[in-house]
Amino acid sequence: MIALSLAEIAAATSGRVVLAGDDTPDTLVDGYVDTDSRKIAPGDVFVAKPGEVTDGHNFVGTALEAGAALALVEREVDVAISQIVVADVVVAIAELAREVVARVRSRGELRVIGITGSNGKTTTKNMLRRILEDEGETVAPVASYNNAVGAPLTMLRVRESTKFLICELGADAPGQIARLAGLVTPDVGVVLMVGLSHAGGFGGIEHTARAKRELIEQVRPGGVAVLNADDHRVAAMADTARERGLGVRLFGESADAAVRATSIAVSASGTDSTLDVDGAQFPLHLRVLGAHHVKNAMAALTAAIALGVDPSDAIARLETIDLAERWRMQVMGSESVRIINDAYNASPDAMQAALRTLAQITGEGERMVAVLGAMSELGEHDVEEHNKIGLLAVRLRIPRIVVVGREARALFLSAIAEGSWSDEAVFFETADEAYDYLKDELRDGDRVLVKSSNAAGLRFLGDRLGELFS
């Protein structure tokens, strides 16, 4: 965080200063801001956020012992550390982020990029960060810091020397993207796709589309909307962008895309394609598995070009990426038994893409194994979408389908109904039961996809299998 006095922080957060030690209202604080006392270092600001399981106010003392200079609290705590008491710490860090970003912007060359979409946000964020970090100091979220807490914490990491701030913006309800994007009014807004992820919370896919459009509505005048030409709901946001006087840059496989991919081919060594960038041709080799990651790369490339980055430089940087993110198409195990751990998130679109990738990278004499768990937050579409995945797995001729967890049972039943006989499809209540089965079932030549939503916890099963067969 930039250096601010206690009085300035209190003003930004509508808080009350409680001083400790030799501190005065003019005492400056410039450390990082975090809600986890275990991550606090000397000079940092600890945010005592109440939670469902525990209360951050109980850890103010721990934060002080770690060297925290300030605690942001909702009630005064009997600990010898200066505190700013606010009505709601989550609202307070958002307002503090708004103030910090505005100050940095007024002093320097900070450019802000917002990224949203039902799938691909974290991968695209990481790709864009890799492109921009060679252009100047870049701040981007850790993991998937994209909610009402994580997004402001990322924003608060900017300093006077920061040139680019990448904000990953997720939402589980209407209005959340507007609030988060409104804190920083991005120069570039990237919308990847509209799918059924979180559809239960939004009330349907059209409501999801409206929520994603909130980002474009918050891009500052003169900014650029980067939109997926292949998703008609996203492409339609160009009208909103143009009405607001924004530039529009489309990416995708459609003929009208400014950044367009052709000749996409997936193999065990990565994903190849040819990119047409405003009429110029560039080969692209991604070490990351999956045709869907070409779309993420195009989104990152299009945003980078909008920020003035040379396309050839950006593509060269994309080609250095080994892993999009942990638990996202992460290749583990060995040449004999390759484990693809992609169990951090799973929407219907992402699940289909992962299964197709498994089929594409499995060669002659090798066996496909799909270890599948539940897709979360689908609402009324839950059974229907799990049924579709079961059908697809069978139609891709995956000879061993391992379904884990009661929430995914509809997927298993669908596979059986489609014609997955005998032990071709098996079901286990727990990941431990699935592990006991797989450790004896897997053999040389197997190519194993582990895919589920984060809540299903199969990423840890993927880790165990990767270690076992390494």
3-state secondary structure of 4: strand
Share of the chain above pLDDT 90, in %: 83
- The pLDDT tens digits of the residues spanning 159-200 come to 999 999 999 998 878 899 999 999 999 999 999 999 865 555
Q: Is the pLDDT of residue 419 over 80?
A: no
Burial of 107 (0-12, 13-18, 19+ CB in 10 A): exposed
User: Is residue 427's pLDDT more than 90?
Assistant: yes
Q: Which two tokens stand for residue 21?
A: 């030690």
pLDDT range class, residue 379, cuts 50, 70, 90: confident
Q: pTM of the entire structure?
A: 0.88
- Kindly state the average pLDDT of the residues 220-226: 97
Name the CATH superfamily, with its identifier, for domain 330-468. Answer: Mur ligase, C-terminal domain (3.90.190.20)
Give the pLDDT band (50/70/90) at residue 201.
low
> What's residue 296's pLDDT?
96
pLDDT of res. 180: 97
Binding residues for ATP: 117-123
Q: Which residues are annotated as a binding site?
A: 117-123
Tell the residue number behind the tokens 């701040």, with chain if given. Answer: 139
Beta strand spans in 236-307 (E): 247-252, 259-267, 270-277, 280-286
* One-letter identity of residue 369: V
* 199-226 average pLDDT score: 87
The per-residue pLDDT for range 327-376, each reduced to its tens digit, is 888 999 999 999 999 998 888 988 999 999 999 999 999 999 999 999 98
User: Mean pLDDT across the chain, nearest whole number?
Assistant: 94
Which of 179-193, 200-214, 290-304 has the weakest average pLDDT? 200-214
- State the alpha helices, DSSP H only, in 156-291: 176-182, 199-202, 205-218, 232-235, 237-243
Task: Please determine, for residue 203, whether its predicted confidence score (pLDDT) is greater than 70.
Answer: no
pLDDT at 89: 98
Torsions phi, psi for 431 (to 5 deg)? -65, -35
Residues 6+ apart with CB under 8 A from 462: 327, 330, 332, 339, 340, 341, 342, 343, 371, 450
Reply yes or no on whether the pLDDT at 421 is more than 70. no
Record the tokens describing residue 226, joined without a space.
């980067």
The arithmetic mean of pLDDT across residues 278-288, rounded, is 95
Taking the C-alpha atoms of residue 85 and residue 11, their distance in angstroms, rounded to an integer, is: 11
Mean per-residue pLDDT, 112-127: 94
Q: Domain-by-domain residue ranges, the chain? A: 4-89, 108-318, 330-468
Sheet with 400-404: list strands edge to edge: 330-333, 338-342, 446-451, 367-372, 400-404, 425-428
Alpha-carbon span 194 to 200, nearest angstrom: 14
Structure tokens at 384: 């229907």
Q: Which two tokens stand for residue 275?
A: 């990119």
Look up the CATH number of domain 4-89.
3.40.1390.10
- Residue 215 is predicted with a pLDDT of 98
The least confident of 70-84, 193-207, 287-301, 312-326 is 193-207
Place of tokens 């195009």: 298
Q: Which amino acid is it at 418?
A: E
CATH superfamily of 108-318: Mur-like, catalytic domain (3.40.1190.10)
